Amino acid sequence: MSFANPWLLVGLTAVGLPVLIHFLTRARPRRVAFPPFKFLVEACAGQQAVHRLRTTVLLTIRTLAVAALVFLFARPFLNPIGAGSNALASQRVVLVLDASLSMRAVQGGIPLFARAKSEAADVLRGLDSGAEAAVVLVGIKPRALLPALSRNLPALHEALVRAEPTFELGDFKAALAMAEHLLGGAGTIYIFSDFQKSNWENAGPLPAGVVCRLRPVTSEPVNNVALVGARVMPEEPVTGETAEVVCSVFNCSALPREETVRLQLGDFAQERRVTAPPFGTVDCAFNVTFSKPGVFIGKAWIDPDDLAEDNTRYVALRVHKALQVLLISDADPTDWRSAAFFVSRALVPSAKAAPGINLVRRHSQETDRGILETADLFALVAPASPTGETVEVITRRVQEGARFLAIVDGPTGPSLVPAALNPPFQLTRMVLSEAGDSIVSGQRRLFLDNELEDWSAVRFRRHYQNQVSANRKAEVMLSYPDGSAAVTLSTVGKGLAAFANLPLTPDGGDFVGNPMFPATLHELLRALRLSSEGQAITPGIGWVCETPSQGEGAPIMSDPEGKTIEAQVLTSGRTSRLALPPAKSPGIYPVKHSGVIVGAEAVNVDARESDTRLIALEKIKAGQGASVSVVRGEEDLLLAGKAIPLWPQLVAIVAALLAAEMLLLTLWPRKRAAGVNV
């Protein structure tokens, strides 16, 4: 505790004045010898004890009143506690506002971000004259309303009023680092957030050496149900093929929720009823068949709730006339005993049997750049010796989203496992088995239906021994008894690569004559087309769009509101690659070339923002030398970091003491002795 006028504490010497006045002004009795007086003393003994008690109480009240008056004029106040007790902490302030998607939730009719913005504005208005402040908005990348601490609080307040929440994921680690940099190691950070667990678990410790005041804008999590996924499998279907749209519903509440999922995609419209378990996810599937090629856009949605922005998922896909498969092999096309012959016949028995697959076969030395740039799936079947340029183009295409399948066998097998495609194993040597080796299922499933996967009657007389990386065994679909991988499926950039270490000739075993062979090849093709690991496009992150070119000039992309987006053309030709700035909002972003829609991309909110469960504030770690406090009420928020004056309490104490004195004198008057006639 400190005093604004400490020199007035000298007045405490007057505390004894009421006692001194009492003793100086009381009547001094004369001693008169009167024998019967002892009887009067005995009779009044009880009254004297009561009188002394009254005097003591009265003197105590008057003494305390004088002391309280002295303290009142000295103007005492309480200093801020902790690291913020120095003047610098209250003069340098950064307000960190959570502007992530979850702050768009509405509770009690008020958006959480509006509540945070209002309280932050109150703190700005309450800063002392000469204080410096800054405001940082939290998104996928933090954004300061002004580039540095500023004394222009009105301008900062005006910018704060105009601020809006984003549709982005919140990165508090980056936001706190920016706040620490703005403060330069000393000051106070106010954090206004819903303290969503998914955002704060990876935030790290709070900045060291500063005051951190945590202000939760809600005490209860939002009971949210969200549509967290809408996947199309395969991602790029062909005409006449049945595609599956799988929608995922997440229930972030303690009770089961029944929801209606609606899907509209092109001319297709349907709905499904699902029941989502508490804090769980449930999927529902829609089967869609496209009768013509082209670009199709649509959306899936559920009824809105307190966080309506995550109740919709947008879908954009391209339907091809046929799947372009490039089969590269050096075997004679007329050799019906070659692996390439069996693979081509298993994939395309006839034009009518596989209308959705367009297979083109090329010799290793005859692959031109045109066919390499347009193929959707590359199938390299031994024997084959692709050139370095061919491997380079295939690697780039796979990283951009194409698919790759290698049949590894014979002397040219190692050349079909390029390191650039990141195989999960290392080839050692070819091994032979006269009786034939069996294969077993690996950690990753090849067949969706386990009952169809029966390898007991299949034997292989040769294979490449290999060593699977310890941390990539989950990519193995089939393996040999010696631990060598037989079939693997791995992610390569945005695409997928499958390696089949299987002899697909009659002298290599009985596999090509078994019904399991075409079934296995088509299941592998399904896995290659369905299992895309491409990163979803979310607001706040820059992205690249690849679209077919048509006509002159560069393609033009627009946002969901129809406004043109400035894009940088990275490459052009049959396809154009556009580098785009971060998307601001979810929705469909169409691409036009020469006035015709040639593509579209769907931007959806990050599913992690839909988990509105709160983190326990005590789990947030403080940096070394930091003072952390939780501000629960608006009054505490305004007083946080400020000196607390005590004079209002002292005024009340003085008034109470004086009132007590008057009440005591009124209700307990001093009784005077009655006169006696002699």
The 3-class secondary structure across 562-585, one letter per residue, is CCEECCEEEECCCEEEEEECCCCC
- Residue 92, CB-side half-sphere exposure with 13 Å CA sphere: 20
Say if residue 358's pLDDT is above 60.
Answer: yes
CA 326, 332, 335, 339 dihedral sign is negative
Q: Assign 83 a pLDDT band (cuts: 50, 70, 90).
A: very low
Specify the amino acid at residue 308: A
Residue 381 host element (H or E): strand 377-381
CA–CA separation, 390 vs 380, rounded Å?
11
b vs e for 353-372, b when ≥16 Cβ sit within 10 Å of the residue's Cβ?
ebeebbbebbebeebeeeeb
Q: Assign 668 a pLDDT band (cuts: 50, 70, 90).
A: confident
Say if residue 490's pLDDT is above 90.
Answer: yes
Q: Is 632 helix (H, G, I), strand (E, B) or coil?
A: coil
**Residue 145 Cα to chain centre, angstroms:** 22
CA distances in angstroms from 149 to 83, 144, 145, 627, listed in the order given: 20, 10, 10, 21
Say if residue 476's pLDDT is above 60.
Answer: yes
Say if residue 389's pLDDT is above 90.
Answer: yes
Q: Assign 675 a pLDDT band (cuts: 50, 70, 90).
A: very low
Average pLDDT, the chain: 86
Say if residue 105's pLDDT is above 70.
Answer: yes
* Contact (CB, 8 A) for 355 and 323: no
Q: Residue 384, Cβ neighbours under 10 Å: how many?
A: 25
Dihedral class, residue 236 (left if φ above 0, else alpha if ψ from -120 to 50, else beta): beta
Predicted TM-score (pTM) of the model is: 0.73
Determine the average pLDDT of the residues in 629-645.
Answer: 62
Among the residue ranges 167-181, 423-437, 559-573, the one predicted with the least confidence is 559-573
Residue 236's nearest CA partner among 315, 138, 330 is: 315
CA–CA separation, 497 vs 548, rounded Å?
24
Q: Residue 109, Cβ neighbours under 10 Å: how many?
A: 5
Among the residue ranges 245-254, 291-300, 478-487, 654-663, the one predicted with the least confidence is 654-663
Q: Go through the domains of the chain in sequence order and give each one's CATH number.
A: 2-79+646-667 (no CATH), 82-221+612-642 (3.40.50.410), 224-320 (2.60.40.10), 323-530 (3.40.50.880), 543-603 (2.60.40)
Say if residue 402's pLDDT is above 80.
Answer: yes
Residue 504's nearest CA partner among 638, 670, 386, 337 is: 337
CA–CA separation, 126 vs 128, rounded Å?
6
> Residue 109 is encoded by which pair of tokens?
């009719």
Determine the average pLDDT of the residues in 609-616.
Answer: 93
CA–CA separation, 648 vs 616, rounded Å?
36
pLDDT of residue 526: 85
Q: Residue 594, Cβ neighbours under 10 Å: how many?
A: 12
Say if residue 3's pLDDT is above 70.
Answer: no
The 3-class secondary structure across 423-435, one letter per residue, is CCEEEEEEEEEEE
Say if residue 140's pLDDT is above 80.
Answer: yes
Question: What are the start-end ranges of the E strands in 501-647?
Answer: 543-548, 556-558, 564-565, 568-571, 575-580, 587-593, 596-603, 627-630, 644-645
Burial class of 481 by CB neighbour count within 10 A (0 to 12, 13 to 18, 19+): exposed
CA–CA separation, 284 vs 226, rounded Å?
14
> Residue 337 is encoded by which pair of tokens?
């005993």
Among the residue ranges 101-105, 191-195, 631-635, the one predicted with the least confidence is 631-635
Q: Give percent above pLDDT 90 in the chain.
A: 54
Q: How confident is the model over 279-301, as pLDDT tens digits?
A: 999 999 999 999 899 999 999 99
Determine the average pLDDT of the residues in 159-165.
Answer: 95
pLDDT of residue 631: 85
* Contact (CB, 8 A) for 464 and 508: no
CA–CA separation, 230 vs 283, rounded Å?
9
Cα of first residue to Cα of last residue in the chain, in angstroms, is: 64
Specify the amino acid at residue 351: A
Q: Assign 676 a pLDDT band (cuts: 50, 70, 90).
A: very low
Residue 174's nearest CA partner among 147, 212, 136 is: 136
* Contact (CB, 8 A) for 517 and 485: no
Q: Assign 677 a pLDDT band (cuts: 50, 70, 90).
A: very low
Q: Is 261 helix (H, G, I), strand (E, B) or coil?
A: strand
Q: How confident is the model over 31-69, as pLDDT tens digits?
A: 655 566 565 555 555 556 666 777 788 778 878 878 877
pLDDT of residue 116: 95
The better pLDDT of the pair 527, 95 is held by: 95
The 3-class secondary structure across 464-482, one letter per residue, is EEEEECHHHHHHEEEECCC
